[in-house]
Structure 1
Amino acid sequence: MNTPTQAPAPTRTAPGAFPLIGHGHLLARKPLPFINSLREHGRVVRIRIGTTPAYVVTDPALTRRVLVTDAAHYTKGGKIIDALRVFFGDGLATVADGDTHLRNRRLMQPMFNKAHIARRGDAMIEQVRSTVASWKANRERDVFADMNELTLSAFLVALFGADLPEHLEGEFTALLPEIMKGTIRQTILPPWITRLPLPANRAHAARVARLRALIDQAIDHRATRTTAPAAAHAASASAGEPAGCPHATAAREEEGLFSTLLNAKDPLTRQQLQDEAITLLTGAIETTGTTLAWTLYEIYRNPEIGRRLRKELAAVCGDRPLRYEDLDQLPYARRVLQEAIRKYGPAWMVTRTAARDMNLGGHTIPKGADVVWSPYLHQHDPHYFPAPETFDPDRWETDRTATTREAFFAFGDGRRKCIGENFAWSELQIILATIVENWPRTQLTSPLPSPQAVVTVKPDTLTMTFHRF
């Protein structure tokens, strides 16, 4: 709730703003050092994005108020969300608060319960294993690109089924990183520049249009395929076969998660289906692929972590390949992944809009103002994460997590918390375990990577060779 009895405190403006562009040059040139530095200036700090003021929340407790306690007064919006909406449309991540968001979230929630994900688990493992096993030993690979391709291929199998035409996956992989670069460009530049008919703006619009055309092809493909399993299921039922018979089970396995939306009693429009598919695909690729790339880098830097991962995997699987039900028996792998998410983001700047004049920790937030919170900033706070630049999976051991979880915002919080969190953990563990299982040793072949803030915090360059022994 709002706290008007708390005396207003002066809100400092971060140093370094330029006329017209505000702090845009710092957000463009050194975004992570800049966002991390704001903690020194107060619990709430004013910045300017172009000429528009924004209020950055540096205290995790106040961010939780924005996302949970006072969420009704901080609506989904702000400059970042406005830029993402050009790309996502009104997908679940960007649609305004209200009846549409509640309806769509309730409609999609069954797609991401653990039982539904488990039905796609073995298909995902098979897809990932096939790809990873095809890599050539001792050959230099672009790890970030590989992780994006792996996460995309696994998610496409889960989302649309295993029979999606191959060209769609290739174009998705090529388009999405460029679209995300264009989106962050639109976020940090003044609006009047993004509206000009410049080559970069036209190219961004063309890529978004092409992505929507590809999504249409995937939806049409899934829609036509959905009728066959449904008919097979109906035929099985009319023949007196039980619901759990192989024919019925195979039909459900083939459908993919997206069939939940296609078969809904209150179906989405084609535009809404596009928006949700784009939202899901982007969340699956950017965040998961980035996390996995950094995880492999940290395993290379810390050989003891790799040894413990291999030992845990061997104890659970022995000589057989990974199975979906093994994932819950790999707690150390989960801690390694959580530490990668903690250290590298995945998101570094998110916005809300104040729906009314608010008092946030004694700071006055005017109605209509952008409120910025940063998982990266909070997850590098030394008060909650001692030695934040140290990669320490053991900080997530059960008896040490009471404090760390207070500042862990990688999946958001409150009613807008990431709906795909359960899926993300499954996909991350499947891919990491499969790589460790097939390629127990890696060698860095590029210079040490530096974090680069786009939408996620990705490595600027990261190449490795993979070795079986």
Structure 2
Amino acid sequence: MNTPHRAAIPTATAPGGLPLVGHGHLLARKPLPFITSLRDHGRVVRIRIGTTPAYVVTDPSLTRRVLVTDAAHYTKGGKIIDALRVFFGDGLATVADGATHRRNRRLMQPMFNKVHIARRGDAMIEQVRAMVTAWPANRPRDVYADMNELTLSAFLVALFGADLPKHLEGEFTALMPEIMKGTIRQTILPNWITRLPLPANRAHAARVARLRALIDEAIDHRANRPDRSTKAKATAKTKAVAMAGAAADGGGGGKRAMGCPHAAAAREEEGLFSTLLNAKDPLTRQQLQDEAITLLTGAIETTGTTLAWTLYEIYRNPEIGRRLRKELAAVCGDRPLRYEDLDQLPYARRVLQEAIRKYGPAWMVTRTAARDMNLGGHAIPQGADVVWSPYLHQHDPDYFPAPDTFDPDRWETDRTPTTRDSFFAFGDGSRKCIGENFAWSELQIILGTILQNWPRIQLTSQLPRPQAVVTVKPDTLTMTFHRF
């Protein structure tokens, strides 16, 4: 039973709160040390964001109850989700639980099954390879910016097809970091400040409006393209008839006509977003915008951050780099990476999973208690924000010994039973990240392509420090890439 009057454990309030801003100053100035310190105060700890109380869950087993076992009583909401809705709208990540969420997830699920992703895999690799090989050698590069640009470009190819106008990609890359900064600012500041007509608030609103206009342009571009699949099918049918005739004359062309390569190529060109545009139960234009923004934001920020930290850890741990390149060489030899190679690169997967574990990607997520709840003996009042932190759980020494050590081998099969209990990078339950399969493919494609083309990387900036925005990003990270 979850009756709150049976709660017997007093819920501690975190130290350091101030009038009016609560613990907002700590969340703004030193968010990661603050959020991880809460483990010392109990399994559930009360904080204040402005004047609003929130309950931080520090025990991963209780977080699993919030996300899975009792998920119906902890709905998608809270201050962070409210701030994200400003530019996500009612996309899959922020829409309230219920019929709309179930329907939209059902419509979008086919976009992210392995068959759909595989159809775009080689096009993504080609795009990434073209960008990576164009980097000049031996010159310092902003690695975080580069990784965001690569992930965005690869995802745009997968989402909208390969012929999206170039100016859209450039504006997306410029807008997204500033929008994310504005969003986290709105999350940690009191509501009355974020509603004032201050320059920062007006600038954030203008950036969000521009992002929506760009998304609208991308949707229109994709929707107004000629129906290439129809043309391809007609072409394929004509060729098939011709080859069948040749086969009847002894030419042997019938077998070569099988498979409809033109139709397959057309499917690859269409992009994942065609699934939504061509759905029998179509979304409205507003819903299409919301979902596109949600997908792009998730693809850029989390994947780009993970790759930046991965390259840094490879620089810090040369043996990891040697093992990665040895694995790539064993699978690919001297040829470029192919999509079908990804499943044969288990060590690369472990390295990426450890980067996700150590650096987030998200560091604070919220739910709202739909009724009075008893969570591990703690009383959670109806309407309260319930906070959980993948970063906190993934640095729990009870589950991840030496959590600040980068150790890809902790993900070997015989060592994973406890680690998986505290790994929440993609969430859990019915709201688990729908794009997890895509994220793993994109991460491996980009990492493998970089390592194949640049045998040596060197750090040229000071050591980066984790900076909690929406993801845990490096505050500065420049590197040079060398061919020898």
State TM-score, norm by structure 2. 0.95
Residue 466 (structure 2) aligned to one of 443, 451, 456: 451
Distance across 2 between alignment mates of 1:230 and 1:413: 40
Give the letter for the 1:225 counterpart: R
1:345 corresponds to which residue?
A: 360
Distance across 1 between alignment mates of 2:149 and 2:259: 34
1:123 corresponds to which residue?
A: 123
2:104 corresponds to which residue?
A: 104
1:427 corresponds to which residue?
A: 442
Is residue 420 of structure 2 the alignment partner of residue 408 of structure 1? no
Aligned-pair RMSD on alpha carbons? 1.3
Give the letter for the 1:172 counterpart: F
1:266 corresponds to which residue?
A: 281
2:137 corresponds to which residue?
A: 137
Distance across 1 between alignment mates of 2:433 and 2:167: 29
Distance across 1 between alignment mates of 2:229 and 2:385: 47
1:82 corresponds to which residue?
A: 82
* Offset, 1:4: 6.0
* Offset, 1:2: 3.1
Distance verdict in 2 for CA 1:382–1:371, change over 3 Å = same
The 8 Å contact of residues 68 and 413 in structure 1, kept in 2 or not, is answered as: yes
Distance verdict in 2 for CA 1:226–1:375, change over 3 Å = farther
1:189 corresponds to which residue?
A: 189
Give the letter for the 1:459 counterpart: P
Residue 312 (structure 2) aligned to one of 292, 297, 310: 297
* Structure index of larger Rg: 2
2:246 corresponds to which residue?
A: none
Task: Please state whether the residue corresponding to 1:225 is helix, strand or coil.
Answer: coil
Spell out, residue by residue over 1:190-228, the C-alpha distance to the aligned partner (whole angstroms, 9 max, x if none). 001111111100100000000000001100111112523
1:252 corresponds to which residue?
A: 267
The 8 Å contact of residues 237 and 243 in structure 1, kept in 2 or not, is answered as: no
The 8 Å contact of residues 8 and 359 in structure 1, kept in 2 or not, is answered as: no
Distance verdict in 2 for CA 1:411–1:106, change over 3 Å = same
Distance across 2 between alignment mates of 1:183 and 1:64: 26
Task: Please state whether the residue corresponding to 2:470 is helix, strand or coil.
Answer: coil
Spell out, residue by residue over 1:269-299, the C-alpha distance to the aligned partner (whole angstroms, 9 max, x if none). 1000000000000000000000000000000
2:390 corresponds to which residue?
A: 375
The 8 Å contact of residues 291 and 341 in structure 1, kept in 2 or not, is answered as: yes
1:357 corresponds to which residue?
A: 372
Distance across 2 between alignment mates of 1:95 and 1:8: 34
The 8 Å contact of residues 2 and 70 in structure 1, kept in 2 or not, is answered as: no
Q: How does 1:63-74 map to 2 (within 5 A)?
A: 63-74=63-74
Task: Please state whether the residue corresponding to 1:18 is helix, strand or coil.
Answer: coil
* Offset, 1:244: 3.0
Give the letter for the 2:467 counterpart: Q
Spell out, residue by residue over 1:131-177, the C-alpha distance to the aligned partner (whole angstroms, 9 max, x if none). 00001110000000000000000000000000000000000000011
Distance across 1 between alignment mates of 2:234 and 2:2: 55
2:254 corresponds to which residue?
A: none
Spell out, residue by residue over 1:332-386, the C-alpha distance to the aligned partner (whole angstroms, 9 max, x if none). 0000000000000000000000000000000000000000000000000000000
* Offset, 1:236: 4.3
Is residue 301 of structure 2 the alignment partner of residue 286 of structure 1? yes
Distance across 2 between alignment mates of 1:61 and 1:95: 25
2:251 corresponds to which residue?
A: none
* Offset, 1:246: 1.6
The 8 Å contact of residues 369 and 380 in structure 2, kept in 1 or not, is answered as: yes
* Offset, 1:8: 2.5
Is residue 70 of structure 2 the alignment partner of residue 55 of structure 1? no
Distance across 2 between alignment mates of 1:343 and 1:200: 32
1:175 corresponds to which residue?
A: 175
> Matched residue pairs, number?
469
Is residue 324 of structure 2 the alignment partner of residue 309 of structure 1? yes
Task: Please state whether the residue corresponding to 1:348 is helix, strand or coil.
Answer: coil
Distance across 2 between alignment mates of 1:286 and 1:8: 41
The worse-fitting range, judged by mean Cα deviation, of 144-153 and 249-258 is 249-258
Is residue 215 of structure 2 the alignment partner of residue 200 of structure 1? no
Distance verdict in 2 for CA 1:6–1:235, change over 3 Å = farther
Task: Please state whether the residue corresponding to 1:139 is helix, strand or coil.
Answer: coil
The 8 Å contact of residues 5 and 379 in structure 2, kept in 1 or not, is answered as: no
Distance across 1 between alignment mates of 2:450 and 2:429: 34
Task: Please state whether the residue corresponding to 1:339 is helix, strand or coil.
Answer: helix
Q: How does 1:452-467 map to 2 (within 5 A)?
A: 452-467=467-482
Is residue 361 of structure 2 the alignment partner of residue 329 of structure 1? no
* Offset, 1:3: 6.4
Task: Please state whether the residue corresponding to 2:227 is helix, strand or coil.
Answer: helix
Give the letter for the 1:340 counterpart: A
Task: Please state whether the residue corresponding to 2:358 is helix, strand or coil.
Answer: helix
Distance across 2 between alignment mates of 1:186 and 1:394: 38
Gaps of 5+ in 1: none
Distance across 1 between alignment mates of 2:285 and 2:238: 32
Distance across 2 between alignment mates of 1:6 and 1:128: 56
2:14 corresponds to which residue?
A: 14
Give the letter for the 1:460 counterpart: D
Distance across 2 between alignment mates of 1:347 and 1:12: 25
Give the letter for the 1:179 counterpart: I
1:217 corresponds to which residue?
A: 217
